[in-house]
Structure 1
């Protein structure tokens, strides 16, 4: 069986995690989250989503250290629960993240050239796939550059916006409890990238040491950044204006009287989303590889390029599907749909981690965190917008039906 080369250390793994998360939350989901929960509710939802993500990160890190293979929870579900649980996790991840890739690509198009958003999106997918096909080392190096540029732009927004933050705008009546849960489910979409480190587990050096360090470090850094930007966005724009904004951070800069800097923020948004797309396509390709190895997807997709050590057929297949969705689909509801399937994915992660039992050498109550993560994922998933819940669970049901039919034929 072809194996992938172990080339990633802690810094590279953290960078890939940052590149997977930074951008989606700040540039995409802050507005709908504010519409669901209000100003104060948005911050509460952000903290809740961060806590559940921390629970999931702890479970993911434990499992990835035990099973350092490509595929993430697809592998963990198979090994710790049963083959169907693994299949359902992998199916949900591939379908949900493919929709996310299309949404990110269309976001790039909307920022760069709104009149030709689909064309730009297709070109972005082709360019990012070309980078990934050169090898995971190229992916990490490119992501490192993108992360540094994005951090610079976000620091600019935070510093400029901090001068005009109003406590009165933040301290407004929040939304309902259901609204906070809905917002938390949408915001969870912004944290999901930390598991890309685990998904790439077969390419990490010394995974028992690297993964448990890199996952919580990347997640902690992003949570701090999100909280700072969340306070600035709500404090400058207020909940109503934030909810209606198509480009919240650009509007923050414009609201403080510096409209000339808006183009810098828009460029930063494009860079951030490109980083998300880069790591997303890599992660989906690796999960597709793992599923193909087990014949849950066509076996031909399990090939690894002899020179670049990447799952080239899987990545090309994923890119082709993403381009099809970009050309024919609509990004409306894609975030909610993706969040629903990914929350189910992490529910399975926590269930698998619980079977590892207690680990006395760990200071954290890992079993309690696994239970909290499982309950939290289910709670957030069912409180997403109804259309997202129906679409997400509908696709999961189709996958389950395919699995049952295939098993019966075997």
Structure 2
């Protein structure tokens, strides 16, 4: 029986609020539960400021993505943005492969984080948990986009409830956080200033920058939302609005949670923990098990979204003959999903999750995503100089300019930091 159709159009089955929860879930799952411990380890008491710097990089690029997604609502996202803006096919193809790799590596990153949280309350071999989770996520991604979006709506609500519980348990630490941050900046009391003076200003900036580079990873989910463009109803209105709402929600949570962790005064213990939020809650005298269980739901969101986004990119690369076999362009007529593409992305994510450490995965993802951000910002600059359609958001011209500058600076900084670290 013929189960693969030759046309590769995806049905528009996702509404605004489904997309908001889809985006919020993946951004929170990737950053606040998985990577925040690594950011805390790099930036210390300056972690909230690291998230602010990362947000500057992310928000300017997100606004560019919002307009570009409305101008060119395709599953290829940045592939088509660059090609249409500059008229050079290899640019689109190159960024498509980079972004697909980034999404795949990101899925592995989040799977690794899931296993760490699971092991905080259940003794399950890492490889067993990793294999079972990736199989389950691949199955959901194959089942359908609407089904995936509804699942993520439910799990995101559970995750938000867990974060609110964390903030309540750490409310005293949240109040104490400004004092800790000021002390780290050397602007507190005399005694605090003397303690802070032991670290040079250059070292402090290095810690802040290193934390910010990792924190950029925490915001990348808005780019994954662009890959759903072919599956969103009223895409020119819904996609930009959903991106902005999702970013606003997660930014508030990132800053509040980061401040709460800093305010505990137990940064070393939290950083060393496999499940940082669970450890922080337990240090405050609250049971960590409910938070650990709830965290698993929202962490799953992040990995599922990355697999979906990467499979859509592989589909677009294959159907446009950009170097991937035509097999990956096939969309199953029963599930309306690209099953071959989903299977290869899930399999690759599984291998990475089993073999590569979490921090290395996050750093590699951040680097690749920053390259894509540069390309999207430059594409919008080029297209806005040519024309401004009436039916898409009109982002001020200076925003993609600033977005390009800060993402290039972040790329240069990450390269410099890696060179210093490698030679040190």
TM-score (norm 1): 0.88
**Is 1:65 aligned to 2:70, yes or no?**
yes
**Is 1:168 aligned to 2:179, yes or no?**
yes
Match of 1:369 among 382, 399, 419: 399
> Measured at CA, do residues 120 and 385 of structure 1 come closer, stay the same or move farther in structure 2, by a change above 3 Å?
farther
**Is 1:344 aligned to 2:371, yes or no?**
yes
Matched with 2:157 is 148
**Is 1:56 aligned to 2:61, yes or no?**
yes
Matched with 1:91 is 97
SS at match of 1:172: helix
Matched with 2:239 is 211
Show structure 1 runs of 5+ residues with no match. 391-410
Matched with 1:398 is none
Checking the alignment, whether the CA contact within 8 Å between 1:65 and 1:212 is kept in structure 2 is yes
SS at match of 1:2: coil
Matched with 1:285 is 311
Of 184-193 and 329-338, deviating more is 329-338
Matched with 1:383 is 413
Distance 1:24 1:378 in 2: 23
Distance 2:114 2:394 in 1: 40
Distance 2:353 2:266 in 1: 33
Larger radius of gyration: 2
> Measured at CA, do residues 245 and 172 of structure 1 come closer, stay the same or move farther in structure 2, by a change above 3 Å?
farther
In the TM superposition, residue 272 of structure 1 has moved relative to its aligned partner by 1.8
Matched with 1:130 is 139
Q: How many residues align?
A: 387
Distance 1:142 1:115 in 2: 24
**Is 1:31 aligned to 2:52, yes or no?**
no
Distance 1:97 1:237 in 2: 34
TM-score (norm 2): 0.86
Show structure 2 runs of 5+ residues with no match. 1-6, 186-202
SS at match of 1:309: coil
In the TM superposition, residue 38 of structure 1 has moved relative to its aligned partner by 2.7
Distance 1:31 1:329 in 2: 17
| RMSD across aligned positions (CA) | 2.2
Q: Which runs of 4+ in 1 moved over 4 A?
A: 238-242, 358-365, 385-390
In the TM superposition, residue 159 of structure 1 has moved relative to its aligned partner by 0.9
C-alpha distance after superposition, 1:363-383 (max 9, x if no partner): 976321101111111222232
Checking the alignment, whether the CA contact within 8 Å between 2:34 and 2:114 is kept in structure 1 is no
Of 62-71 and 320-329, deviating more is 320-329
C-alpha distance after superposition, 1:257-297 (max 9, x if no partner): 22xx2111211222221110111111111011111112121
> Measured at CA, do residues 364 and 43 of structure 1 come closer, stay the same or move farther in structure 2, by a change above 3 Å?
farther
> Measured at CA, do residues 63 and 155 of structure 1 come closer, stay the same or move farther in structure 2, by a change above 3 Å?
same
> Measured at CA, do residues 117 and 144 of structure 1 come closer, stay the same or move farther in structure 2, by a change above 3 Å?
same
